[in-house]
Structure formats: C-alpha cells, structure tokens
Structure 1
Amino acid sequence: MTSHCMVSLSLSTGWSIPGSLSFNVGTAGAKVFSGPAVEEFGHTVQQFRNHQGKWLLVGSPWSGYNQDRKGDVYKCEIRGASSGCQRLNLQNSVSISTVSNVNVNMSLGLTLTRTATEDTFMTCGPLWAQKCGSQYYYPGICAENSLLFSPLIKTCGGPMDIAIVLDGSNSIYPWPPVVAFLKKLLENLDIGPDNTQVSIIQYAVDPAFEFHLDSHKTKDSIIAAAAKIPQKSGLETNTFRAIEFARCVSAFLPTNGARPGASKVMVVVTDGESHDKGLKDDVIGKCEQEKITRFGIAVLGYYIRNDIDTKNLIAEIKSIASTPTDRYFFNVSAEEALLEIAGTLGDRIFNIEGTGKGGDFQMEMSQVGFSAHQTKKQNMMMLGAVGAYGWSGTVVHYTPQKSDIFPKTAFENILEDRNHSSLLGYSVTTLNDGSMEYYVAGAPRSNHTGQVIVYIINSKGQPTVIDSQRGDQIGSYYGSVLCPLDVDKDGVSDILLVGAPMFMNEQKKETGKVYLLSFTKGILSDQGILKGPSPADNARFGMSISAVPDLNMDGYSDVVVGAPLEDNNRGVIYVFNGDKKKLRTQCSQKILGSQLDPALKYFGRSLDANSDLNDDTIPDVSVGAYGKVVQLWSRGLAVVTMRANFNPDKINILSKTCRVSGRLVSCFNTTVCFSSTFRPKIPVGPVALRYNLTLDADLQSSRVTSRGQFSNLERVLQRDIRVSTGEVCDTYEVFVQVKRDNMNWFDDGLLNEVPTHILQVYFNIHSYPLCIVLSKMSVVFCSSSKMLVSFKNKRLSFTVSVTNKKENAYNTRVMATYSKNLFYASITPPSDETEVKCSSTRETRSLSCQVGYPALRKNQEVTFLINFDFNLNQLQTEADVSFEALSDSTEVNPSDNQASISIPVHYDSEIALSREANLNFYVVDMDNEVKTTVNTFNDIGPELKFSLKVSTGNFPVNIAYLTVSLPSYTAGGNPLLYVTGVNTAPAGDVSCEVDSLVNPLKISEKPYTSSFSKENLMGTEELNCKTAKCQPMKCVLKDMGMMSDFFVNMTTRIWNGTFAAVSIDRQINLFLIIYIKPGMKGEIPVGVIVGSVIGGLLLLALVIGLLWKVCASLLHFMM
C-alpha cells in the first residue's frame, strides 16, 4: 500500500511591456502648453469641444498680475503644432451695469466647469466685488459664455439716517481734530438721497443744528460743510437734552429730511459727564422704543489733563451706547485720537447697512462660485459660497430662472460651526441612486477636521440633510475635493472619493489622503483609502481627483489623482482602476512630472480626463501644473494572458533522476505560454514583453531558500518574448531542492496580472497506511551545573541526540524555546555529516532545526550541539531552554521527545582593585630628634598618600562594600599611621565612615604631647594586621555603572617617634620600606548573586568584602 504526503511548489509569472508596464496612459509624445506662471496659469483645466474643434480651457486666476488679479481663461488648441495658448480676455467683459463693479482681484478662472450644453462652459471669479460707498461686498460672479450672473448681488446699503450729536463745550480742546474726525467719518459713508443722510447737532448748554438730514445731497457737499463747523462753546454739558432734541424735536422728523423705513443711527461724541444725567433713563428708553442704534464716544482728554478719574464718564457713555457695548462704545485718550477710530466707526455703521441689524455678516462676503458643479437631472448649477454667514459657507442652487439661497439655519445644526468657519461649499457635486439625485458639499474646516454633507431639497424648497461624514485629523482639509464615481456605468453612483490633501502622517509630512466612501440611498460608508505616496514625502495627494470613463478599456470607470508636492514639488499623478463596483486601492500607474519636463512644478494641481481628444476611443488625461498644462495621450492596450503546465504534474522527491553540481536531485519541466488580445480590437502588436518566472512565489523574503531552481541555479528566471494574437510557449527544466515543507497549500488567488500555478510534490511511503515512528530525544548540558557568566565566558552549549527506532520519520525537527537572556549562536553539526539546519526567530525566542531532511531513517541516531550565547543586556537568575522533537509521522510515545532544562546563573562582577602611593621607601635616621610636643602634622613625621581605585567591568553593580584596614599601632601600643584626610570620588556614589578615623587628636587645633615606649621589633618581618593593631575603615560604593572607576583617597603621617623607640642595632642606619598590597579576599564569592527585578530594572545586590592591608617591613641595608 502506498500513501502520498502532499506538498506544493508554486510558480508565479510576472511580465512587463516596455513603455506601458500594464497601464496605458502614455508619456511619450505628451504635449506641454505653457502660460504665465505668475498668473497661476494651470490652476484649473477643462477639456472642451465645440463645432470648431477640441480644446483645453485653462484657468489663470491671477491674470493681470502684478497690476491686478482679475483672472482669465486661456484656450489651447489640441490639434495644432503650437504649444502656446490664446487668452479669451473675459476679464474686461465682466461688468454688471446696475452696480459699481470692482473686478481688480476677482480671480476669474479660479473655477472652471462644463455645463449642460456641450459647447458651453462656465467660469467664476469668486472675489468679484461691488462697491457701496467706500465699502465693498464680495458676492462673486460667474460667466457662462456671454451670460453674466451674480446670484447674491444686492442693493447698496439701503436708506440710513444718521444724527451726529457733537459736544462743543469749552472743555473740548483743541477743536480742529474734531473737525478732522467728522470729515473722515463722512468719507466712509455712502452719502446720497437714496442711501445715507447725515445731520450734525452741536451742543453745550443747548443743542442746535449745524445742518439737517436733507441739507446736502452729495458727499463732497457735506464734507465741505462739516469742515466749516465752528466750536459752539459753553460752560455746561447737557448731553441728554441734546439726545432728546435729536430724537424728538428735529433730527428724525420728515420735515428735516428723515425717511420712513430708513435705519436710524445716532453718534454721540462728548468729553465730560452730563449736567442733566437725571434725564438719562427716560431719554435712552425712548431711543430704544424707536429702535435708534446709538454709538457712544468718550473723549478722555480733559479728564486726563486735569487728573480726574474717568470711571464715571466711561460708565455714562456706555449707558448711552446700544448693546453690546463692545460693538457700540469707543473711548479715546484725547481729541487728536478721534481720527484713529473714524475708520472703525465707519465699518461698524457699514455693518449695520450690510446685515440690517448690526450683527454678523450674512451673504455680503459669500464669494459665490468658489466651486461649481452642473447637475444632471435638474439642469441646475450648484455654486459654493464659502464666505456666506461669516465663513460658515453655504451652497447656492442656480438656474437662469431663479437662485435658491438657503438660510444659515439650513446647515447650522449638522455643521455645529461655533465660529469655526466651516467653509461649506469649498467643493460641490452630486450622487445618483438611479431614481434620485443627491447633493453633496464639502466643508473642509468644519470642526477643524472637515466634513462632507449629503442633502436633498424637500417639498418646501429647503435642504434636508441625509448623511454626513467627518474627517479624522485637524487641518487635513477633508472634503476640499469631491469626486463621484459610477464604476460599472449603470447610472448609479458607486463611490464618492473625498480628498484630504493636507493630511499629515506620523513623520509630520503632508502626504495627503484620499478616502473611499460607498453610497447607498444617500448614506455614505467608509471603504478605506487609496494607497498613495511614500510617508517620507510632502505630496498633498488628493489635491485634485478626476473620474475617467474607462482608461484601460475593461468596461469600468477609473480615477486619476494628483499629488502636486510629491517629488520635491515637481508633482506626480496616480491612476487607479475600477473593478466591478469598487476601485482598486493600489495604483496601476504612477507618472512623475519630472519625467515629462524637468522644469515642471506642481504637476497634478488640476486634472480633467473626461474626453477622448485624439479620436482613438480612449479618454485622455489633461494635467495642470505651475504655468503649464500637460496633455497625456492614452494608448491602446494589449491584454496578455499566460498559462503554465508541469511535466510530470506530480513528483516524488525521493526519486532523483537529474544531476546538478555533481549531485542527484528530483526535477520536472514547466511550459509557459502567452497570448494576447487588444483593446481597441485593432491589433497593434506584436507585443514585446519581459517576463519573470518565480518558484515558491509565496515565499516573499529574498533570504528564504526556495524548494526549486532553474538551470541558472536561481529561483527567478527572466526572459524576453514577442507575443501576437497566436500563442507562444517556452519550456524550462526545474530542479527540486530538499527543503522542509510545512504542508501549506498556496492560494493562487492573486491579482489576475500575476498568475500563479501549483505543482504537487509528494513523498512515497511503502507498505504502511500511516508513518509510525518510535523516536526518542535526549539533551545534555555540556557545562557544570552552575554557570558563571562573564564577558569572556558567555557560551552555553547543549548536546542533542535524536534517535528513531522504527520506520522513517519524515520532516524530523527539533524545536527549542529559550529565555530572553539567551541568543541562539550556532550549531556544531553531527560527526557523521547528517545534515542539520537551524533557523531562529528572535521575536519569539524560538529555534527550529531540521534533522536529516527529508527523513530520519530507521535506527538512525543523530547527535549535534546547539550553542547559545548569553544576552548581557538581560540579566536573570536562570537560563531556561525547552526542547521538543517532532516529525510528520505518528509518534508512539511523544513524552520522551521533550526536555526542559533550567540552569542557575551567576555573573562575574569583574571588579578590579588598584592603588598608587606617593612613597616607595622611607629613611629612618636614628640621630634625628623626635618631637614629643606635636603642634602640626609635620611634627608627626613624613606624609604617606595612597589612592585606592575600584573599577567595574561589563556588569553594573548596585552596591559594594570596601573595607580598608590600616595598621595604626604596634603590638606594644606605639602609633604607626595617623590618618589626616579621606576623600572619595564620585562623592555622591562613594561614602566612607571616617568620623573617628581622621585626625582624632585634633592636631593643629591644640598641642598634643606624644609618648613612645621601648619595643623590640627585631623578630617582626612585617607590620600587618597579625603583628600590629589595625583600624578598619568601611566604605559603601553605590550605583556602579559598567566600565566605571571609583576612588578612595587617603593621607596619613608615619610616627617618627615609634621607629626611634624600637629596639634595633643603633650602629646601622635603616631604611623603612613602605608598600601597599592586596590582602586576601573575604568569604563572599567573586560571583555576584543576581537580585530581584524591581520597577523594570534589574538591580544587582553586591556584597563583597574587599580587604586591603598596609604592611610595613624593616629591612636592614648597609649604607
């Protein structure tokens, strides 16, 4: 009976077509149109066709720079040989006769779009302004061929009656600055019978008219009259009588020029507290009833000059001003400062004119036309108005018959704006579900993260929000670009692409991001993102997105995405192909602008790929750059298919019939065949392609050994071939390498561009339905039971023996796991040359060793060494290793195939001690007189200095103890060494107990009388702690890092008197030899015992007795 243990060997084929590389937007022959870069030529681009031909329309919104930025549109002829473009000169024709036009900076061409009529286009200048007096509104303007329209154009100002109530009392000084203030204020107002009228009333004790509301019809006339107003003068300031006079008696009466329905505004200017403040509540209350808007201006000059507290004056003028007072109250330090607030006061009055209530701007700064989109079903133009409602923004629905302008409340709740300036309308588009058209608007600053809103128009003609999606990063400008896509061309929108071009990655680069949202009945759902530029680049991927009807002729719509900052601001575009109802997130083509023209900048800032411009039935791609537009031509597509077969289709790896490098191996033949079809169907071949054959294609790493080789002894083979409509085949021989296989089948569900084919390989096992094995493993630790680890001794070896007692054991392997204080180092192979291959995975601290692959034979024993090294960065008390022997056969007794070993570990501290001394010998002169009264250290004897250095090695030490024993007295009690000083370094890490040791006799502070007794030292060879009395000094060394030095420095004196009193031969002059030597170490072992892990740090508890002895010997020398 034969059973087959199956494995797989996969063959992957990839190919490339020079100049196409499996995509079809051509770069050769690209046509580059040039225009003035300073005018932002290339900011927008649209493909356009009419009865005259096919063109590119290019927006240049700063056309006219640097005199102005009116903007314009250029047309570039596709068919002609010229690379220049013709300006359409639209800027000079953009003028609406009924208003005062300001088109200096209107930025015409900022928006450029197709319309419902094939031979027309629309462009907008969102910064087009109309002037009302000295004030400007920015409603924006759009032009569709010769038709001009501005949906939000308004009648300037509206009627407004203003009464200026002016304090002319004696305290106002000087007067000319007051007149200058009046002139400047009047210059900022739109004076005229249908707009603004002004009356001036001057008062001190009593009020009087300077002129009435209808006294002057023009601005020049009223300014001239105001310039001649003299100061009234007076000793009192009756402010509230003057306000009542202006309100009731004359200023706002029809007989003095007041107009029914006109807004009433009063400006009160005074420099002192009123003498009639009792009238305040009644007068101001009546002003409120008659809805008179009041500005109060306090001139503080008189109070400041006379050092009077201004608090009461300011409070009074605030009570006159309308609320909120921060909008309607002013104060200036002197009359001369009035001129500084005239402009601001005019703006506040203009605010009343513009909004009708002195509140926030509504549509006055709307900038309609910032974005535009032609709807399909309603034949209506969506126009973004980002400046509407104080930059919250809105969308205007425009038809030639009417313009639908939605109130602020229409989108207020969904935006949750709270003064965040959402910029709704930055982008607009529509989505279709087959029966209904949904409107979509982007608000890239909504809540700072950006937002996309989907809405419909209800039966009342107002927006009803269906759904919205928010961005996930502040400042990313999510929603600034929108692109709907009907992938399968069934009339139903499948995907909405949302650009967030300023999305910043973790490396603080503005790579940009494009989100994919699926669409179902108005509901958006996240479908991931497109894979774009490298995270190391600023790219602004998604700054432009354009849908393409079908680039690769597979029946599905595609997408082109611009990244204008990629490649050091030269720019890149990406092509993504549709697939059924989805979009492939991996690009099929990446085109660098620098490859087309090295001078290109910001290639990809704008895109259009809607039309076929060269009549080959394939849409072409138009790309805007800085000062240039590039026309790329799509090319025909050759769809190459490949098939592969194997002969034989199954092989037995134990059957070896081929010879490679002198050894027999298994082998087989593979045949790969290519054929091609063409899109469009007109053949353009043959196709020259280069293909790669890869064995074991599922093994992605280049370091993995493949199970097969071609004749070049590599797993990859590359060949060139020419393919037409007929099939072309090549045959290759493949050699099978012996390699462990985990029996994993390889899934061939790759992209259809890279086919993969699988060959089955099997082991032939005779006579038994199952592979039954009796195997046994033993492991021997090759060192002693305790391991002392040092920098020079860090190898840990195990002898592993694997024995098979029964039938062949296939795919035998030894698995090992080890503790984190070990590294796998190497193996020592078996002496019988049985192949053992090991590989380790550091992350999981595991080791896998193949033993005798493909099979361990019956009664075969394999012995080899596995070597580990200690990881000196991970100090632990034990080293743990677990072994297990496995095979693909059935094991009778698995329990004897496992072994676990735990080895205690000590680490050598590697501490070294050294010393230096300032004396090598000392001469004892018996004739010198010994001083018994000691006043200074010099009276004792010569100075002996020595330094002890403790040096650490490759391991940190938490704490160590150093004991220094000093021979201080002889056995008879005579003093030997007197310690005068001890210092340590580093001072914070080394400390010694020296209180009773250093200068215990307080010498130098008071005289000390010494005495010495006779003593016989002739039989003493050495003065040490056995022959003399020693005094210990204990030191503690803390936080001893690796490779560090620590010092204990001592200064002592040798007692002359002791050596003068000893019993020796007086006929011979003597030398006293002083030396320092290391004593015997204590009973604590050299090895450092590892302590516990505290707070994540491995602390070493070190207790070492380090005993150093200072010995003195008397050696006799003949002088």
Structure 2
Amino acid sequence: MRKQCQENIVFDVSQACAPLYHWRTLKPTPEKDPVGTCYVAIQNFSAYAEYSPCRNSNADPEGQGYCQAGFSLDFYKNGDLIVGGPGSFYWQGQVITASIADIIANYSFKDILRKLAREKQTDVAPASYDDSYLGYSVAAGEFTGDSEQELVAGVPRGAQNFGYVSIINSTDMTFIQNFTGEQMASYFGYTVTVSDVNNDGMDDILIGAPLFMEREFESSPREVGQVYLYLQVSALVFRDPQILAGTEVFGRFGSAVAHLGDLNQDGYNDIAIGAPFAGKDQRGKVLIYNGNKDGLNTKPSQTLQGVWASQTIPSGFGFTLRGDSDIDKNDYPDLIVGAFGTGKVAVYRARPVVTVDAQLLLNPMIINLENKTCQVPESLFPVACFSLRVCASVTGQSISNTVGLTAEVHLDALKQKGAIKRTLFLDNHQSHRVFPLPIKRQKSLQCQDFVVYLRDETEFRDKLSPINISLNYSLDESTFKEGLEVKPILNYYRENTVTQQAHILVDCGEDNVCIPDLKLSARPDKNQVIIGDENHLTLMINARNEGEGAYEAELFVMIPEEADYVGIERSNKGLRPLSCEYKMENITRMVVCDLGNPMVAGTNYSLGLRFAIPRLEKTNMSINFDLQIRSSNKDNPDSNFVSLQINITAVAQVEIRGVSHPPQIVLPIHNWEPEEEPRKEEGVGPLVEHIYELHNIGPSTISDTLLEVGWPFSARDEFLLYIFHIQTLGPLQCQTNPDINPQDIKPAASPEDTPELSAFLRNSTIPHLVRKRDVRMPEPHRQNPAKILNCTNIECLQISCAVGRLEGGESAVLKVRSRLWAKTFLQRKNDPYSLASLVSFKVKKMPYKDQPAKLPEGSIAVSI
C-alpha cells in the first residue's frame, strides 16, 4: 500500500501482482504463457483495475509471453507505477511504467488486450543480453539533478553473470549508468532500494547480492550474501560502495532491502535487510541498520527473527519487506515482513522514541576535608559534604505529557565491589540510590537534590583519584498508560549513563595537582650467595621524595622465586621501621612497604629488608630483586626502577683421608708359618685393611666424583698385598683391574672391626652423619729407613669408584680387606719395607645449571 498524489487528488494505492499468471494465447495451441498480471486498488478498495502489460499478441519466449510482469514493482513519487518483467525477450527482461490514473480509467473487464497511451517500456536488446533478467528488481529515485525521478532496475544475470543495476531515464527509457557486481553468480541486483540514507538531500542506492561467497579461505568459500550502499555525491556521481556482509552461511542476506524512514528520530533514514534462511532452523531474520552522515552503521541495531514461523520447512521470514508506512498512525514508520513458507505477513510497529537529556550537578566539586559543614544525623559527627543535583528533560514524537523515569545513582562508582566507598548519602548512609524521576514533556530541566558526605579520612587511603558519581536512568514502565499496545523506548543512541567527578582538596598548589619526584636507591649487604649455605641477605634501601606530595606511596620489592621474605631490619637504629607486608598478585611475590599518604615533599627514608635464599639448586648464575616506588598520582607517579643482581656460586670443600690397620707388621710371626700354596685366607699372611673416606665439607653438593686407588699388588710376579674383599659405604660403585683374588683362595669370614678402625668409622659420616673430628693415623715406628714400594716401582691393582651425590657434610667410605703375602717378605729377612696405596679423587660434576670454573680434586698415600 502506498499513498499517492496525482492531479491534486490524494488517495491510497494498493497493488498485488501475480507474476506467474498464465493466459491462453491467440494461437491455436494448448500452451499458456506466464505473462503475469497485477491488480490496483484505490480509495480503500472502492475502485480497482487489472493491469497486465505483457498480455498481448507479442507472445512466446521471443516476445512477452514469458514476461512475468509484476515480478517486481515500485512507484514514482508522482504516482506512476514501475513494473519489472524479467522474462520478456528470451529472458532479457524489461521494465514497464504506467500511470495509476490511466490504469483505473481505461480498465474494462471485457477488454482483455489493452494498451495504455502513456505506458512506457524498455525495448528488446541484442541476443547477447538473453537470460539477463532485467527488471528482477526495480526502484525509483532522482540521480541526474533535474528533479525528475529515474528508475533503477536490477539485472542479476547480466554482465556475464556478474550482475548489474541500471539507472534508466524515466522519459525515454534509455540506460544512463550501470553498477556492476564484483563476483560471478552472486546475483548482484537481486534486489534494489533507493533511500536518502545520510540525509544530504540526494537519493542513494542499495543493492543486494544474496549469493555472494566470502572467500577468506579459497578452499572453503562461504555463501553469506552482501548488500552494497552507493552514496550519491552529485548528479550521477557516487562514492565507492559501503558493504554490509552477512554472517550466516546460506542465510541469503540481502534477499530483500527496504527503506524504513527514520525509526529512531535521529534525522537519518534507516534500512531493513532480509536474510530469509538465516537463524534457528532457517526460519529467517530481518536486520535493522540505522543511518548516519557517512552511510549505515555497520552493526544492526535490532534483529527480528521468525521464531513464530514453521519448524518443518523454511519459512522464508524476511523474503519480502516493505517499510516507511505509518500503519498505526503513531507518527513512526512501521515494517511489513513476508514469510512465504508459512503464507503469513507480520507487521512490526515502530515504538515511540524518548530522548532524555540528563545532568549531574555537584557543588562544590573540590571538597576540603577540613571544612566539615555537615553533621551525621544520628551522631552529630561533623563531616565534609557537598550537594548533588539530578536533572533531566525529555523530548520525542508522540510521547506522553509526563514520562516516568527511574534514576539510579552510584557514589564513588569506580571503586570495585567490596572496596570502601569514600562518599555516602547523608540521609541513609548508602552509596547507591534508586528513585523515581517523573518528567513533564513541556518543561525544561526538572531536578531533585541530595546531600553527600565524605567518610572520615582515617577510613580510606585514596585522596587523589576523583570521586566518580554515575547516574543511570531507564523508563519506568509502571507509569505507562493501561492498554498501551506499543510502549515507548529510550533512544539507544543516547548514553543512558551520566557521570560527574568530585575531587578531594590536596596540598598541591593552586591547580590541586601534585607532581612528585620519587627517588630510589638500594644495595645488598653481600653481592654473592653460595648454594647450600644459609644465605641471609639484607637489602639496604633509600626512598625519598624531592617533589610535591605522593599519595598512597608504596615501595614494591619483587621477590625472586629462590628467596623468602624474613622481615624488616630492626637492629640498626639508623633505619626506619616502616610497615611492610608480603603480598602475592597472580604469580608475582612481593614485599610492599607503606611510605605515607601522602609521602610529603622532602621525605627521606632508609630501611632494611631481610631475606633468606634457600632455593638455589635449579637457578642460573644470578638472581634479581626489582624495586620501585609507586603512587596514585596521575603525573610522574613512580620512581626510577632499581634492579639488584645477586651472584650465585657453588663452593664445595672436599677432602680424602685413609687409615691402615695394622699400621705395621713384624715378621716372622710367632708359632705361624705361611703355606706353600695356601688354600684358605688364613694361610696367606697377616690381615691388612685400608679404609678411605671421601668427605664433602660443603656447603654445596657434589654429584659425580671419580675415586681411584692404586693398590700395591705384586712385584716380580710375587704378591705383596693380596685383596680378598672390597666393601663400600655410601653412594659408591667400584670395579677393579685386574680382578681380586686371582688364586681363588677361600676367603675367611669378615672379622669385626678393630677398635682403631671403629674409631675411624665413628668419625665418618656414613650414612649422612656430620663428622665430629679428624682422627690422626698413627705413625709406624721404624728403626731403619724402609724401602718404599708403591705404584711407581711395582705392579698395582687399580680400584675405580664412581661416587654419587654427596650433600655438604656427607661422606663415602671404601674399605679394602687384604692379606700380606708373607712368603714374599720372609725370603727377605731383616729388610724393612713400606707398602703404599695411592688414593685420589676428582669431582667431575655438581648438580647445578652453571658449574664452577675449577672443581675439587686431591690425593693421599696410605702406607703399612
């Protein structure tokens, strides 16, 4: 339906078309041609007429037999009708225009074939234009600057299937200008609409391409559809198109585009775009886009969904759209949505828009905490305060004389939930208030007043950040008239929140802005810590302010993961005992010290913070303590950043010691003779035991050490000290070369340790005992110089031991049980000998990321 004006007569026009209407041709054949037809009704259906421009003798596909007139239609502003017939002339298509008055005046039920005198049609084109579908969509607008409207027609299969839209002269039906699609088979021109979107007085063109495929990933294109907006700059000059893209695959976004008029009363026309197969169960959607000075907002302000439509078949909700008609006479344009799958049409009535102008007024806006002019009602406690005024006015088309608003005020609104609110309403001691605010439409600002006070300054720290006060308003639906079917809404392009700020007066000069100059220096009491040591560390810190007051000033010390905070240094009277506490934010551990609120100009603090550093095994060569002073001031709030590097080193003092028992042997032995070929251990000779201890004094740990013993085994094929058993205590794994007991002599049971050996072992640390004292090995008494036999002049058996992890204070012990091969020495009576074993160690590795430049090693000789 459309209101038309012709020859000074205003009347409503309704038109319905049947583009698949068939009629039997004049030829003697049984075929029927889909010529299409339309019915036009005026003056509330008091008069109507049929209009079928393609029902004529020019039948068959090569003529107008398949015209399908009425496939699309629109009206000129003077009331003339525009009809699209995309099937004419082998589906080249055509556009036909006629006067409504002529259609009504010349209508005769008996006259089947009629030709109107002022009817205009586009002519047949060359064969290359076949299957182009001119007239698939039509619209009217003014584009040449002559005040005469042109018609616009979509040709979705023209231009080699890229599609195009033509501007056609309404006088002689000649083609003036084309807009061509960017993608083949996108059906560019499927729909076309004209609207002055940006309110510049010139008509703009919107073109739908519902089959456009998004090719962000070439291997998997997505059919989402697009709509192109061409803003007219001057006569037949347009900007590059603004593109609105669909978001749902196969939703056919852009199947319908409708001019709505100004829905939200902002001075710009709005547009509806249909996506008839989008949404849940493909029930369809209609998206509303609001206009602005630059075109259309890229995000829809509202989405209508066909939730009421059929769930068994696609409803096609949004397949057709018609807007810019005030059906319910409330001075707002309404929207008609067709859903062909359900055989239904939905009418969406526009709601009146209420625009609110709200204000928050504070007096004074800078509060002096010393100026306590108000009293808390219950206690009469004096407090600083200020007045708060909430004001509002309303405007809108077709709204009530009185509009009820609900106002909500939050004091100190930027403070997080649970934080102390610095300001409260004086009458109820709350920081939040909800109250009704009725506003009369004819009046200007209407206000309500409140008194707000500040808590005592001992109850909060933040004196620098502004006190943010927010006003949020909404429509009070309880004030709507009963039976009101279309309720008003707030203008959603106007923020419904108003904020204002008050400030606390601080000692920062006339501008009330403090600019501190914070300085920070620090040094450790030691520059190096040792892995395995107790590692107590004190940071000596100096913090000072050489500028204006620093509010909520705090010292932040970031603690490395290897360290733990112990406390402040109290033994030095020259250090200030500040209040410091351990905190953790996310995974960052820190110590935070209060430096004052404010930290006034000229402040100079020296303090010490004590730490323990127990976890160094898995760290690198150094750790860092990061320090900074921070304040809540807006300008220059922080000090310089200080990073203290503490070097880490591994130090292990390792020693080797040994003992022989007995320390000496005198041959021959009373009442004993060696066997010629001994079969048992006792027949070899006297028992000789050597014990070697590898001791890690610490403090660091060693993890891989090689312990080697050169054992005086034989000389000139005669045995010297014959080994029967090797015993280890601690993390040792040993092997010999050559094997021990090569004569396969039966070993005796292991004897008990002698008191001397027991004393040696008691002073060892096996397993994991701290050695209490060293035991000096007794020196053998010799009257004559003895001949020394060692690995330099005899054959030695090699004992190699891999020593595992030894913490500081732990030891590993190797015990060798042997027999002096008496036969060898009885042949050389009266000759004294000294048999020496050589034991050595070499630390190969410590269990840390970084190894010391030099690892411990050493050796000793143990003689009998």
> What are the superposed Cα offsets for residues 53-90 of structure 1, whole Å, 9 maximum, x if unpaired?
565858888999xx99969799999999xxxxxx9998
For residues 729 and 568 of structure 2, what CA distance do their matches in structure 1 show?
60
- The answer for the alignment partner of 2:391 in structure 1 is 673
Q: 1:114 aligns with which of 67, 72, 75?
A: 75
Q: Is the 8 A contact 1:479 1:499 kept in 2?
A: yes
- The answer for the alignment partner of 2:326 in structure 1 is 612
Higher relative contact order structure (alpha carbons within 8 Å, sequence separation ≥ 6): 1
For residues 228 and 296 of structure 2, what CA distance do their matches in structure 1 show?
12
For residues 517 and 328 of structure 2, what CA distance do their matches in structure 1 show?
76
- The answer for the alignment partner of 2:92 in structure 1 is 139
Q: 2:202 aligns with which of 475, 492, 505?
A: 492
> SS where residue 1062 of structure 1 aligns?
coil
Report the AA paired with residue 60 of structure 2: S
Number of equivalences? 642
CA pair 1079-586 structure 1, distance change in 2 beyond 3 A: closer
- The answer for the alignment partner of 2:848 in structure 1 is 1088
TM-score, length of structure 1 as denominator length: 0.43
Q: Is the 8 A contact 1:609 1:620 kept in 2?
A: yes
Q: 2:271 aligns with which of 546, 559, 567?
A: 559
CA pair 799-106 structure 1, distance change in 2 beyond 3 A: farther
Q: Is the 8 A contact 2:153 2:192 kept in 1?
A: no
Alpha-carbon offset, residue 152 of structure 1: 5.3
Alpha-carbon offset, residue 818 of structure 1: 8.0
- The answer for the alignment partner of 1:809 in structure 2 is 549
Q: Is the 8 A contact 2:22 2:32 kept in 1?
A: yes
Alpha-carbon offset, residue 544 of structure 1: 4.3
Report the AA paired with residue 848 of structure 2: V
Q: 1:369 aligns with which of 132, 135, 148?
A: 135
> SS where residue 646 of structure 1 aligns?
strand
Q: Is the 8 A contact 1:513 1:529 kept in 2?
A: yes
TM-score, length of structure 2 as denominator length: 0.54
Report the AA paired with residue 93 of structure 2: G
For residues 609 and 778 of structure 1, what CA distance do their matches in structure 2 show?
72
- The answer for the alignment partner of 2:154 in structure 1 is 384
- The answer for the alignment partner of 1:641 in structure 2 is 357
Alpha-carbon offset, residue 685 of structure 1: 4.6
For residues 801 and 661 of structure 1, what CA distance do their matches in structure 2 show?
47
> What are the superposed Cα offsets for residues 966-1011 of structure 1, whole Å, 9 maximum, x if unpaired?
99x997599xxxxxxxxxxxxxxxxxxxxxxxxxxxxxxxxxxxx9
Q: Is the 8 A contact 1:71 1:109 kept in 2?
A: no
- The answer for the alignment partner of 2:304 in structure 1 is 592
Alpha-carbon offset, residue 368 of structure 1: 1.5
Gaps of 5+ in 1: 1-45, 81-86, 131-136, 155-353, 356-361, 406-437, 449-474, 909-925, 929-959, 975-1010, 1032-1053, 1069-1075, 1091-1100, 1108-1119
Report the AA paired with residue 373 of structure 1: A
Alpha-carbon offset, residue 687 of structure 1: 2.7
- The answer for the alignment partner of 1:445 in structure 2 is 183
For residues 856 and 68 of structure 2, what CA distance do their matches in structure 1 show?
87
1:923-938 equivalent positions in 2, closer than 5 A: none
1:337-352 equivalent positions in 2, closer than 5 A: none
Alpha-carbon offset, residue 885 of structure 1: 3.6
For residues 508 and 69 of structure 2, what CA distance do their matches in structure 1 show?
86
Q: Is the 8 A contact 1:574 1:587 kept in 2?
A: no
1:671-710 equivalent positions in 2, closer than 5 A: 671-680=389-398, 683-694=399-410
CA pair 511-123 structure 1, distance change in 2 beyond 3 A: closer
Q: Is the 8 A contact 1:562 1:607 kept in 2?
A: yes
Q: Is the 8 A contact 2:84 2:134 kept in 1?
A: no
- The answer for the alignment partner of 2:462 in structure 1 is 739
CA pair 899-1059 structure 1, distance change in 2 beyond 3 A: same
Q: Is the 8 A contact 1:652 1:666 kept in 2?
A: yes
- The answer for the alignment partner of 1:853 in structure 2 is 597
Alpha-carbon offset, residue 686 of structure 1: 3.3
Alpha-carbon offset, residue 111 of structure 1: 3.0
CA pair 639-142 structure 1, distance change in 2 beyond 3 A: same
- The answer for the alignment partner of 2:662 in structure 1 is none
Report the AA paired with residue 729 of structure 1: Q
Q: 1:520 aligns with which of 233, 237, 240?
A: 233
Report the AA paired with residue 138 of structure 1: W
1:207-246 equivalent positions in 2, closer than 5 A: none
Gaps of 5+ in 2: 24-30, 104-114, 472-491, 570-575, 652-677, 681-701, 752-800, 807-841, 858-864
> SS where residue 118 of structure 1 aligns?
coil
1:902 is aligned to 2:640: no
Alpha-carbon offset, residue 672 of structure 1: 0.9
1:239-318 equivalent positions in 2, closer than 5 A: none
Alpha-carbon offset, residue 369 of structure 1: 1.3
Report the AA paired with residue 501 of structure 2: L
For residues 380 and 401 of structure 1, what CA distance do their matches in structure 2 show?
8
CA pair 771-826 structure 1, distance change in 2 beyond 3 A: same
For residues 692 and 78 of structure 1, what CA distance do their matches in structure 2 show?
52
Report the AA paired with residue 1079 of structure 1: G
For residues 205 and 537 of structure 2, what CA distance do their matches in structure 1 show?
61
Alpha-carbon offset, residue 142 of structure 1: 5.0
- The answer for the alignment partner of 1:759 in structure 2 is 501
Report the AA paired with residue 452 of structure 2: E
Alpha-carbon offset, residue 633 of structure 1: 1.4
CA pair 659-363 structure 1, distance change in 2 beyond 3 A: same
CA pair 829-139 structure 1, distance change in 2 beyond 3 A: farther
- The answer for the alignment partner of 1:1045 in structure 2 is none
Report the AA paired with residue 901 of structure 1: L
For residues 642 and 435 of structure 2, what CA distance do their matches in structure 1 show?
51
For residues 379 and 891 of structure 1, what CA distance do their matches in structure 2 show?
62
1:1079 is aligned to 2:804: yes
Alpha-carbon offset, residue 593 of structure 1: 1.7
Q: Is the 8 A contact 1:644 1:671 kept in 2?
A: yes
1:321-470 equivalent positions in 2, closer than 5 A: 362-376=128-142, 377-388=147-158, 390-391=160-161, 393=163, 403-404=173-174, 439=177, 441-445=179-183
- The answer for the alignment partner of 2:792 in structure 1 is none
- The answer for the alignment partner of 1:297 in structure 2 is none
> SS where residue 1064 of structure 1 aligns?
coil
- Specify which structure has the higher proportion of helix: 1
> What are the superposed Cα offsets for residues 370-390 of structure 1, whole Å, 9 maximum, x if unpaired?
232324445543333343454
For residues 39 and 843 of structure 2, what CA distance do their matches in structure 1 show?
98
CA pair 764-715 structure 1, distance change in 2 beyond 3 A: same
CA pair 615-862 structure 1, distance change in 2 beyond 3 A: farther
> What are the superposed Cα offsets for residues 10-33 of structure 1, whole Å, 9 maximum, x if unpaired?
xxxxxxxxxxxxxxxxxxxxxxxx
CA pair 899-56 structure 1, distance change in 2 beyond 3 A: farther
> SS where residue 325 of structure 2 aligns?
coil
Alpha-carbon offset, residue 823 of structure 1: 13
Alpha-carbon offset, residue 754 of structure 1: 3.9
- The answer for the alignment partner of 2:260 in structure 1 is 548
